[in-house]
C-alpha cells in the first residue's frame, strides 16, 4: 500500500492547494491521510457531504445511478451501498446516515483501516497507480 500512497501523493496538490479546505480538519481528526482523502472528496463528491450518485422517483425508487452494478454512493467520500452492514454497525443508521459527515468519515476510516484506498476507485483506477 505504501507504493500506492506514494504514487497518489505525486499526483495530488500540496497542502497549500487543498481541494476541499472546509473538510481538512474533519478528515485529519478522523485519522485519515489528509492529502489522499482531500483528493477523494473533491473527485468523488465535489466537496459536497450530501452528495448521492443516484436519482430517485417520487416514491423513492432508484431510477438512475452512476454505478453499473446499480449500487449507490453517498456523502463526502462517496461510501458505496455495499457497506450498509458497516454503516449500521458504526453509525446505528441506514445508508442515509452517510450524508452525515461524522458517519461518513467514521465508515471511511473503518474501510481505510481494513482495505486501504481500494474502496475508492477514483484513486485505485488511476493509470499512474501500480
Q: Please report where in the chains the cell 482495505 appears, as a residue.
A: 115
Separation in Å, CA 112 to CA 50, 62, 119 = 21, 28, 8
pLDDT tens readout for residues 68-113:
899 999 999 999 999 999 999 999 999 999 999 999 999 999 999 9
Q: Give Cβ neighbours of residue 18 (< 8 Å, ≥ 6 apart).
A: 24, 38
Q: Nine-digit cell at 23?
A: 473538510
The architecture CATH gives domain 2-124: Orthogonal Bundle (1.10)
Confidence band (pLDDT; 50, 70, 90) for 51? very high
Q: How far apart are CA 38 and CA 54, in angstroms?
A: 22
Q: Are 82 and 107 in contact (CB under 8 A)?
A: no
The number of residues in the chain equals: 130
At residue 121, the pLDDT reads: 76
Q: Are 48 and 78 in contact (CB under 8 A)?
A: no
Enter the pTM of the model: 0.79
CA-based torsion, 31, 52, 117, 81: positive or negative: positive
Q: Nine-digit cell at 96?
A: 442515509
Q: How far apart are CA 34 and CA 55, in angstroms?
A: 30
pLDDT tens readout for residues 10-50:
455 545 456 899 999 999 999 999 999 999 999 999 999 99
Amino acid at each position: 500500500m505504501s507504493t500506492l500512497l506514494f504514487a497518489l501523493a505525486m499526483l495530488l496538490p500540496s497542502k497549500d492547494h487543498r481541494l476541499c479546505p472546509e473538510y481538512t480538519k474533519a478528515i485529519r481528526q478522523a485519522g485519515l491521510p489528509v492529502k489522499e482523502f482531500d483528493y477523494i472528496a473533491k473527485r468523488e463528491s465535489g466537496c459536497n457531504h450530501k452528495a448521492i450518485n443516484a436519482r430517485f422517483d417520487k416514491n423513492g425508487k432508484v431510477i438512475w445511478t452512476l454505478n453499473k452494478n446499480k449500487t449507490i454512493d453517498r456523502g463526502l467520500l462517496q461510501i458505496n451501498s455495499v457497506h450498509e452492514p458497516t454503516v449500521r454497525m458504526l453509525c446505528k443508521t441506514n445508508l442515509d446516515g452517510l450524508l452525515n459527515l461524522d458517519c461518513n468519515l467514521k465508515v471511511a476510516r473503518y474501510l481505510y483501516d481494513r482495505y486501504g484506498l481500494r474502496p475508492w476507485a477514483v484513486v485505485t483506477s488511476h493509470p499512474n497507480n501500480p
